[in-house]
Amino acid sequence: MCGSPRHGTAVGFIVLLNALLLATQAAEGVSTDHLLVQLHEGAQDEAHQLATQHGFHSARKLSFGEGLFHFYPQDTSKRRSKRSARNRQRLQKDRRVKNVVEQEGFDRQKRGYRDINDIEVNMSDPLFTKQWYLINTGQADGTPGLDLNVAEAWQLGYTGKGVTVAIMDDGIDYLHPDLASNYNADASYDFSSNDPFPFPRYTDDWFNSHGTRCAGEVSAAANNNICGVGVAYNSKVAGIRMLDQPFMTDIIEASSISHMPQVIDIYSASWGPTDDGKTVDGPRELTLQAMADGVNKGRGGKGSIYVWASGDGGSYDDCNCDGYASSMWTISINSAINDGRTALYDESCSSTLASTFSNGRKRNPEAGVATTDLYGNCTLRHSGTSAAAPEAAGVFALAIEANPDLTWRDMQHLSVLTSKRNQLHDEVHQWRRNGVGLEFNHLFGYGVLDAGGMVKMSKEWKTVPERFHCIAGSIQDVHKVQSGNKVLLTINTDACQGKDNFVRYLEHVQAVVTVNASRRGDLTINMTSPMATKSLLLSRRPRDDDAKVGFDKWPFMTSHTWGEDPRGTWVMEVGFQGDEPQRGALKEWTLMLHGTQSAPYIDQIVRDYQSKLAMSKKEELEEELDEAVERSLKSLLSKNN
């Protein structure tokens, strides 16, 4: 299913390229006292004795290869000593030894770690050093290096100039001295009270401080001795007040999302259906249309960028039940805390694309998000995934400044390619690699956004090829689901090959599902791609006891199969989890593939490769690589048989 040569070639191609790139960059290694030793049959029980006899501390049997051992010295910190050269020669002559290979020592840097002394950022703003999400030096018991890597983007000269970010929220204190100079009044509006002044409504408890805090994360001015610094501190920020009325309506949402799409580049939303773990809801008709128009016509046709907080429902909720966060047209952002763990309020789902940062679990008051607050104040305590979305909006503003031609899809590709695992850890879901080697996690998506990496890649970026949509298959028979007896369905697809809408390289995948259940919250749905990537489309939601509605043509989305070849067999599993026996009926599974026909960034990778190797013809390179991949595949296959 997953081992067909066609898939193998694509994966192999990228893997091999990476290997070649690494090989050309590899620095000179140093000699060491560590040996790879192959022993003759029958001599393997004597490995330890043999090691000590020849001046090594011990020998460790290796799990790969036949009769292979690691001979290592007592003191592992030292480089090779003179004496050890003699030891090695004697060892090599021992009749029990078949082969000896010295291990070369080389450098591997901890990912995401930078020496703080290398960062030359000088800001006069009093809260700047508390903004660990910008530059994490270990403030508030955090993990050094676990940050948005904005310093690198700033040093390259990108600060958000010429880019406008709109905060769709409860208003903005636009008189705030740290926001006033970056406030874009022309692009602002108040849809809660229908006037051009989105000033927050006063309440004693400062309830309406949300928008102001989000605005500061993006656009707070730098070096003015006030509060902190925004991620894109020279960007403009617009206020769209739309959260502060008794009811939300489709009209207000649609109006907000489609407000001045030729002026506003990025819309940041930190709201959605109630995060009570039992709601299944999404954008209505007008809002859906507004989003579709935004990505198709906004920014002169390059598309509005919609950034969405993935949700604050914690482990009891699943953001794939939130039609805003799980939309293909939004970039859904989760959060990590300052030591790399997930926040307790974080929701997980397969549609989350990447993560930024929010407040910690600890009581440490400085582990929150430092930003501007109502009435000219500052705060250290902004929180929730709400705080995560504006950080992403700020990073995307830096990317747009680096390359104003980026489309809404380019931004998603760039997020997938440059986000990092860094030092994030997830105690529940493992980090995995998808069929083309991209590392992802169910909770954090492709990892934490990296502003430096993003602006560098943006600068060189060539817009991705045209997007196509293929209905891979649809099963509409009724299948009974019961506790202890899950339903397993397959769709075998050629991904519309041979037709105009063939999809060869995936972007988003949607599984449109109709299912009812005696208890909706106990349903779980998983889907596995032909390249063996498993997406958890729906996890158990213990608080959802709906027994009537179920899911009606609900589009579950996964971003985990990004870049994969969709041809082959897709598997969907639907079942129940929980203590009480449940039953239900699966009535529809329609598989929708979205992506490109030509390889989105192979050109880019090949170009980098070429400039490194000064090779002239891409065709030559591709042929060579294809042959190499074929050869290694063949040898692999013959070994397995």
Ligand X SMILES: *[C@@H]1O[C@H](CO)[C@@H](O)[C@H](O)[C@H]1NC(C)=O
Residues noted as catalytic: 169, 210, 386
Among 97, 238, 536, 606, binds ligand X (CB under 6 A): 536
53 binds, among Ca ion, ligand X, none (CB under 5 to 8 A by kind): none
Distance in angstroms (rounded) separating the CA atoms of residues 551 and 492? 24
Residue 129 is a binding residue for ligand X (CB under 6 A): no
178 binds, among ligand X, Ca ion, none (CB under 5 to 8 A by kind): Ca ion
Number of C-beta neighbours around residue 23 at 10 A: 8
Residue 359 is a binding residue for ligand X (CB under 6 A): no
The three-class DSSP label of residue 154 is helix
Q: Which is nearer to Ca ion, 220 or 481 (CB)?
A: 220
Among 313, 435, 445, 473, binds Ca ion (CB under 5 A): 313
Q: How far is the CB of 374 from ligand X (least distance, A)?
A: 8
Q: How far is the CB of 515 from ligand X (least distance, A)?
A: 8
For residues 453 to 482, the per-residue mask of contacts with ligand X, x marking binding by CB under 6 A and - elsewhere, is -------------------------x----
Among 547, 615, 636, 637, binds ligand X (CB under 6 A): 547
Among 112, 239, 282, 311, binds Ca ion (CB under 5 A): 311
Q: How far is CA 119 from the centre of its chain?
A: 25
Residue 224 is a binding residue for ligand X (CB under 6 A): no
Would you give the DSSP letter of residue 224?
S
Number of C-beta neighbours around residue 276 at 10 A: 12
User: Can you read off the two tokens belonging to residue 469?
Assistant: 């949509």
Q: Which is nearer to ligand X, 131 or 412 (CB)?
A: 131
334 and 441 in contact (C-beta within 8 Å)?
no
Among 253, 317, 507, 522, binds Ca ion (CB under 5 A): 317
Residue 275 is a binding residue for Ca ion (CB under 5 A): yes
* Stretch of 32-40, 47-55, 353-361, 515-523 lying at the interface with ligand X (CB under 6 A): 515-523
* Stretch of 159-167, 214-222, 461-469, 517-525 lying at the interface with Ca ion (CB under 5 A): 214-222
Among 98, 486, 607, 618, binds ligand X (CB under 6 A): 486
Alpha helix positions (H), 192-302: 210-219, 250-257, 285-297
282 and 323 in contact (C-beta within 8 Å)?
yes
375 binds, among Ca ion, ligand X, none (CB under 5 to 8 A by kind): ligand X
Distance in angstroms (rounded) separating the CA atoms of residues 606 and 603? 5
Q: Which is nearer to ligand X, 35 or 515 (CB)?
A: 515
Residue 452 is a binding residue for ligand X (CB under 6 A): no
Q: Which is nearer to ligand X, 99 or 124 (CB)?
A: 124
By DSSP bridging, strand 97-105 and strand 164-169 are: unpaired
Distance in angstroms (rounded) separating the CA atoms of residues 299 and 228? 30
Size of the site for ligand X (CB under 6 A): 20
524 binds, among Ca ion, ligand X, none (CB under 5 to 8 A by kind): ligand X
585 binds, among Ca ion, ligand X, none (CB under 5 to 8 A by kind): ligand X
38 binds, among ligand X, Ca ion, none (CB under 5 to 8 A by kind): none
317 binds, among Ca ion, ligand X, none (CB under 5 to 8 A by kind): Ca ion
557 and 536 in contact (C-beta within 8 Å)?
no
Q: How far is the CB of 378 from ligand X (least distance, A)?
A: 7
Number of C-beta neighbours around residue 385 at 10 A: 29
By DSSP bridging, strand 534-538 and strand 523-528 are: antiparallel
Q: Which is nearer to Ca ion, 168 or 414 (CB)?
A: 168
Distance in angstroms (rounded) separating the CA atoms of residues 387 and 360? 12
Name the packing angle between helices 618-640 and 602-613 (round to 10°). 100
* Stretch of 138-146, 196-204, 282-290, 513-521 lying at the interface with ligand X (CB under 6 A): 513-521
Q: How far is the CB of 382 from ligand X (least distance, A)?
A: 13
Q: What share of the chain is helix, strand, coil (3-state, %, to 5)?
A: 30, 25, 45
Among 169, 170, 173, 178, binds Ca ion (CB under 5 A): 178
Residue 376 is a binding residue for ligand X (CB under 6 A): yes
351 and 444 in contact (C-beta within 8 Å)?
no
Among 575, 588, 593, 594, binds ligand X (CB under 6 A): 575
Residue 180 is a binding residue for ligand X (CB under 6 A): no
* Stretch of 318-326, 571-579, 601-609, 614-622 lying at the interface with ligand X (CB under 6 A): 571-579
Beta-ladder partners of 379: 371
98's enclosing H/E stretch is strand 97-105
Number of C-beta neighbours around residue 628 at 10 A: 15
Number of C-beta neighbours around residue 541 at 10 A: 26
Q: How far is the CB of 386 from Ca ion (least distance, A)?
A: 12
Among 33, 125, 410, 522, binds Ca ion (CB under 5 A): 125
Give the chain's length.
Answer: 641
Residue 573 is a binding residue for ligand X (CB under 6 A): yes
Residue recorded with tokens 């003179």: 82
Q: Which residue minimizes CB distance to ligand X? A: 575
Residue 304 is a binding residue for ligand X (CB under 6 A): no
119 and 57 in contact (C-beta within 8 Å)?
no
375 and 354 in contact (C-beta within 8 Å)?
no
Would you give the DSSP letter of residue 50?
H
Q: How far is the CB of 371 from Ca ion (least distance, A)?
A: 10
The three-class DSSP label of residue 331 is strand
Residue 98's contacts (CB-CB under 8 Å, 6 or more residues apart) are 38, 39, 40, 67
Residue 286 is a binding residue for ligand X (CB under 6 A): no
Q: What is the CA radius of gyration of the chain?
A: 27
By DSSP bridging, strand 534-538 and strand 378-382 are: unpaired
Q: How far is the CB of 297 from ligand X (least distance, A)?
A: 39
Among 190, 253, 322, 565, binds Ca ion (CB under 5 A): 322
Q: Which is nearer to Ca ion, 275 or 546 (CB)?
A: 275
Q: Which of 205, 273, 185, 188 is nearest to 239 (CA)?
A: 188
372 binds, among Ca ion, ligand X, none (CB under 5 to 8 A by kind): none
Number of C-beta neighbours around residue 60 at 10 A: 13
Residues that bind ligand X (CB under 6 A): 122, 124, 375-377, 478, 486, 516-518, 524, 526, 536, 547, 573-575, 577, 584-585
Task: List residues near Ca ion by CB under 5 A.
Answer: 125, 178, 220-221, 224, 226-227, 275, 311, 313, 317, 322
